[in-house]
């Protein structure tokens, strides 16, 4: 074995570690493998097969990589963990998170129950993708060489984050507001500056405040769903996902200056790339949905349409 790579995928309830790719020095016979060939600490092995690359496949094919698929339902699968510390599917206690009651607080006046503008307390944590595994059964190459069971415990040294790795991370220093915004940007794979592209803006909820730049990409499908190969084949587009360092708007509906910085970021990205200013779209959940509504009010020509989730 030459190395181990962890493979992650984003689901509706967050990013999860769903497979491990084990690289060998020779081409492996996929028919020699079964779910009992490998054991992964704390995880349920669901499928094992060989492949030519360190990637998932519908069916195995002889190759130098052995793919060990893992159950996404395992507690240890979750890499996006909310305030309450269990899995990514557990609702955050934050009233401005997507899984909380999206309506304004009715007890004690507006804003009584949720985080306030300027609050920079993270509502979630991104866990590093780590897997340890052992080879429990014999692995056979296509030339008949047999690699017997080995008690050596291996840990991944690489990580492949499906779709998430297709985004690039940048920083925007807005001269108009003095604010700095971290953001993720997906550029279409066959980008041609001689044609015009649409852009989708996704804005996260308050549980993703002040985490790593990739936070909006791993919390759920709000951003990455637009960048999948299947969606890009139907609707080729740029995808923009800012990471806010603090709460931008709360139940009082009065936003911080990060609100205007977001509009300025959209304009800056439009100028930098060949983006059609008549085909810009906004979406977001909870806090991000409220921002979409507010941006449509203050900047009515910024977006062609909005998709509002739990505003």
Dump the DSSP string for 233-284. HHS--EEEEEE-SS----TT----THHHHHHHHHHHHHHHTTEEEEEEEEEE
**pLDDT tens figures, 249-287:** 999 999 999 999 999 999 999 999 999 999 999 999 999
pLDDT score at 5 = 98
How confident is the model at residue 112, as a pLDDT?
47
- Count of CB atoms situated within 10 Å of the CB of 34: 13
The arithmetic mean of pLDDT across residues 3-32, rounded, is 97
Q: pLDDT tens for residues 118-151?
A: 999 999 999 999 999 999 999 999 999 999 998 8
d(CA 107, CA 127): 35
Fold topology of 164-309: Rossmann fold (3.40.50)
- 80-123: per-residue pLDDT in tens? 998 644 344 443 333 333 333 333 333 333 444 678 999 999 99
pLDDT at 113: 60
Cα–Cα dist 36/55, whole Å: 20
Phi, psi at 198, each rounded to 5°: -75, 165
Cα first-last separation, the chain: 50
Pairing of strands 197-203, 238-243: parallel
More confident residue, 84 or 232: 232
Taken in order 215, 223, 221, 167, the sign of the CA dihedral is: negative
pLDDT, position 2: 87
Q: State yes or no: pLDDT of 17 exceeds 90.
A: yes
- The count of C-alpha atoms lying within 13 angstroms of the C-alpha of 76, restricted to the half-sphere facing its C-beta, is 12
How sure is the predictor about 202, in pLDDT bands with cuts at 50, 70 and 90? very high
Give CA–CA dist 290/294, Å, rounded: 6
Domain chopping of the chain, boundaries: 3-76+127-161, 164-309
- Residue 125 to residue 238: CA distance in whole angstroms: 26
Give the residue ranges of DSSP H helices in the chain: 215-218, 221-224, 229-234, 258-272, 287-298
Q: Write out pLDDT tens, residues 24-76.
A: 999 999 999 999 999 999 999 999 999 999 999 999 999 999 999 999 999 99
Tokens of 166: 């297709």
The topology under which CATH files domain 3-76+127-161 is Immunoglobulin-like (2.60.40)
Provide the whole-model pTM.
0.89
């Amino acid at each position: 074995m030459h190395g181990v790579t962890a493979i992650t995928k984003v689901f509706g309830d967050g990013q999860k570690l769903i497979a491990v790719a084990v690289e060998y020095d020779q081409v492996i016979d996929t028919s020699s493998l079964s779910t009992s060939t490998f054991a992964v600490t704390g995880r349920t092995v669901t499928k094992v097969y060989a492949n030519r690359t360190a990637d998932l496949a519908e069916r195995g094919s002889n190759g130098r990589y052995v793919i060990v698929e893992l159950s996404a339902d395992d507690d240890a699968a979750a890499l996006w963990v909310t305030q309450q510390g269990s899995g990514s599917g557990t609702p955050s206690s934050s009233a401005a998170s997507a899984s909380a009651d999206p309506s304004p607080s009715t007890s004690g006046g507006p804003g009584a129950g949720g985080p306030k503008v300027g609050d920079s307390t993270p509502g979630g944590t991104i866990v590093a993708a780590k897997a340890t595994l052992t080879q429990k059964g014999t692995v056979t190459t296509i030339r008949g060489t047999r690699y017997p069971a080995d008690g050596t415990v291996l840990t991944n040294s690489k990580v492949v984050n499906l779709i998430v790795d297709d985004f690039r991370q940048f920083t925007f220093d807005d001269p108009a507001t003095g604010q700095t915004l971290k953001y993720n940007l997906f550029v279409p794979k066959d980008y041609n500056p001689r044609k015009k592209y649409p852009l989708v803006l996704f804005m996260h909820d308050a549980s993703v405040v002040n985490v790593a730049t990739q936070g909006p990409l791993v919390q759920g499908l709000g951003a990455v769903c637009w960048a999948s190969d299947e969606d890009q084949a139907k609707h080729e587009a740029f995808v923009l996902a800012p990471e806010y360092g603090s709460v931008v708007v709360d139940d009082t509906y009065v936003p911080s200056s990060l609100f205007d910085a977001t509009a300025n970021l959209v304009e800056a990205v439009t100028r930098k790339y060949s983006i059609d200013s008549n085909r810009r779209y906004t979406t977001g959940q909870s806090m991000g949905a409220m921002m979409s509504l507010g941006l449509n009010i203050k900047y009515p020509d910024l977006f062609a349409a909005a998709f509002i989730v739990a505003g």
